[in-house]
Structures are given as C-alpha cells and as structure tokens.
Amino acid sequence: MKEKNLLNYLNFHKINIPENIKIAVISLPSLIDKSQLIQKAKSENRHANMKFTFSNPEYSGLGDKFEWAKSCIVISYNYSPSSSNNHSFRPGEGAVALFASENHYIPLEKFIRKLTDLFNNEGIKVKQFIDSPQHYDRIFFNTSGLGWQGKSTMMLSPGIGPWQLIGNLYIEEKFEDTEKKSFSCGSCNLCQISCPTGALDEEYILDSNKCISYWLQSPDIIPHDMRSSIGNRFYGCDECLISCPPGQTRSFNILKTNKVELQKILKMSSDTLVQRYDWFYIPKRNGDFLKRNALIALANNPDENALSLMYELLNSDSEIIRFYTIWAIWKLSKFHEIKNYYDVDHEKSELVKKEYLRLMK
C-alpha cells in the first residue's frame, strides 16, 4: 500500500505550515542510535557536568524509542528576524543571543500542538519532544532531508543556516519519507576560527567546558579567563552562528531586543529577573545567576557609573553577587580602593573571602 504524504494530509486537514516552519518525515524504525556518541562526550568530560540528555544517554540518544511509532516528524522553526539592525553595543549594554531574544520556542510549540490535536482527533497516538532531557533533538535532522550537522555541531539548512530550533513528533502512522539530500560544510571552517574560546577546535565536536553559552547557564564558579572571554554577553553566545555562511542570507545582526542595560538588570530583584526571563535556562531558578552574568558583562563593558554600582553591591546579601563583584572591581583595576567600601574581616562566606585573597596576590 502506498504510504500517505504528510503535506497532502495536512493540506486536506487545512493545517497551514507557517513560512518559518519546515517539516520532514523519517520512517521508523530508523535504526539510528546516538547514545554512544552522547555517552562518549560524557566519558570524555566534554559535557562539563551538564545533565540534560547526558543524564540517560541510552534513552535520550535512541531513535527507536517507541514500538508503536511508525514515523517521526522533524519540525524546525527558523527564528532569524526579517529586519536588520546594528551590531554595535554602547558601554553598559549586554548581549542576548538571538535564540533567547524572546521565547522562540512558542511558535514551534504552537505548531506541534496543532499537529498533536489533529492526530489525536484522528485517534492516532503521538509523542512530542522539544528541548527535553529525554530526547536528543538533533537525532533525525541530517537524515530527514532538512539539512546537515555543521562543524559547529549546529544543524544547518540551506537559506537558514543554524538559525533554527528543532522539535520532534513521533506518530503512530506511516508517512512517506521526505526526499534525502546530501549537504556538507565543505572546506569552510569559519565557525571554528570565530569561536572566541577554542571550544570548536576539533571539527563537529563541541567542548562544553570551553563554551560561553554553557558557562552563562552554569551554577558553577566561572574560571577567571572565561569571565574575560565572556565579553559583554549576558545570555547565550552566537559567534559560531553569526560566522556561518549558510545563515548569512539576510544582512541581520543583533537586534535591539538582544540588548540589555546591565545596570538595570543589577538593580532588579532576583525574583523579578526570573519572571522577566522565564524562558531562559536559569540554574536553580535563582536570578542571582543572571546578575552574575550581568556583573561579568559590565566589568568587560563598563559604562560611566558602573564602578559606583559595584561598590554598592559589595554589601549585597547574596554570596554570588559579592563573589563576582569583587572580581568585577579587580577587572576594572580598582581593587586597591575596595577597602573603602568593604571589610573582608566581616565577610561571612569562606568562598568570597578566598576569592578576595586570591585577587589580592
């Protein structure tokens, strides 16, 4: 029996595919299993202790998770803007990577919900995954015809490059496979040489220990050299995406919405920050980690009265804030003045004391 064509099926059910959504079908079982590669990254400690898909690679990396599933629809949402703007930052401004300038997962989730409702109404079982620790979202992308895995490890498509988020919908219905295409990066290596920290020195392999995007989401103490490499980035890093030629089909750079006023962030309460950026991955949902990012970014891109705010923050109730403020003042070469605003003998936190003494040397 001839398999159904998904596009015709959706058309028949009057489901519109928005312009910035692309879909492809892969029939199951796929015999695809990325568990070992995820496990390998973990055993070589390239995962920098992250949990996500690394918690249970045997499951997250398995393509054939469900006996009942006959196809998987791979859905990609292109979040690149249609207008362009200026990439330059003024002192005191921090950068937010484009994927996080707003909750770009919403349109992807909305479309997947539409498909789910359709299949549910037809009595067809489905299971969706978007950014879940249970599922490696890139799993079927390069065999689905949508594109290929670049040397940056990003999934790329012609005309879109890396600017896309990926979701998967397993369905209990056989649909025709999408046409396979073979693409590659060829001899390009621009992402590798654009990465400010050498996290992509080995092609197709990311060392998360060196990745800025990782550190800005990590609860661990950020190493000193990494703090400087972070520059004015407040959340996420886009260097390996911006440099990628297949994604440069429009002359866009960082939009206004990708800028934050770092001092404003530092003056907000931590709870307000968590609410304001509820789509960010924030360790322990503790807004102090976003303030930490803002402090580092402000020390790397200070404006006029950055220092006076830092002096105030030396008396913050938060251990994290005091810890990074001490470094920020050191970074601005004003460590010798710290004694006028802060008494290390009254410091309750051993961690903060240690940082102070380390920077004293």
Binding interface with ligand SF4 (CB under 6 A): 150-152, 154, 156, 185, 188-191, 195, 197, 199-200, 206, 211-213, 237, 239-240, 243-246
Which one of 10-18, 24-32, 127-135, 255-263 is the stretch in contact with ligand B12 (CB under 6 A)?
Answer: 127-135
Q: Is 73 in the site for ligand B12 (CB under 6 A)?
A: no
Which one of 111-119, 212-220, 223-231, 271-279 is the stretch in contact with ligand B12 (CB under 6 A)?
Answer: 212-220
Q: Is 95 in the site for ligand B12 (CB under 6 A)?
A: no
3-state secondary structure the chain: CCCECHHHHHHHCCCCCCCCEEEEEEECCCCCECHHHHHHHHHCCCCCCCCHHHCCHHHHCECCCCCCCCEEEEEEEECCCCCCCCCCCCCCEEEECHHHCCCCHHHHHHHHHHHHHHHHHCCCCEEEECCCCCCCCCCCHHHCCCCEECCCCCEEECCCECCEEEEEEEECCCECCCCCCCCCCCCCCHHHHHCCCCCCCCCCCCCHHHCHHHHCCCCCCCCHHHHHHCCCEEECCCHHHHCCHHHCCCCCCCCHHHEEEHHHHHHCCHHHHHHHCCCCCCHHHCCHHHHHHHHHHHHHCCCCCHHHHHHHHCCCCCHHHHHHHHHHHHHCCCHHHHHHCCCHHHCCCHHHHHHHHHHHC
Which one of 49-57, 84-92, 286-294, 322-330 is the stretch in contact with ligand B12 (CB under 6 A)?
Answer: 49-57
**Of these partners, ligand SF4, ligand B12, none, which one is at the site of residue 185 (CB under 5 to 8 Å by kind)?**
ligand SF4
By rule CB under 6 A, what count of residues binds ligand B12? 38
Q: Is 131 in the site for ligand B12 (CB under 6 A)?
A: yes
Cβ nearer to ligand B12, comparing 237 with 338: 237
Q: Is 144 in the site for ligand B12 (CB under 6 A)?
A: no
Cβ nearer to ligand SF4, comparing 85 with 189: 189
**Of these partners, ligand B12, ligand SF4, none, which one is at the site of residue 149 (CB under 5 to 8 Å by kind)?**
ligand B12
Binding mask 166-195 for ligand B12 (x = CB under 6 A): x-----------------------------
Interacting residue ranges for ligand B12, rule: CB under 6 A = 34, 37-38, 41, 50, 52-53, 97, 99, 130-132, 135-138, 149, 152-155, 162, 164-166, 204-206, 208, 211, 213-214, 217, 236-238, 240-241
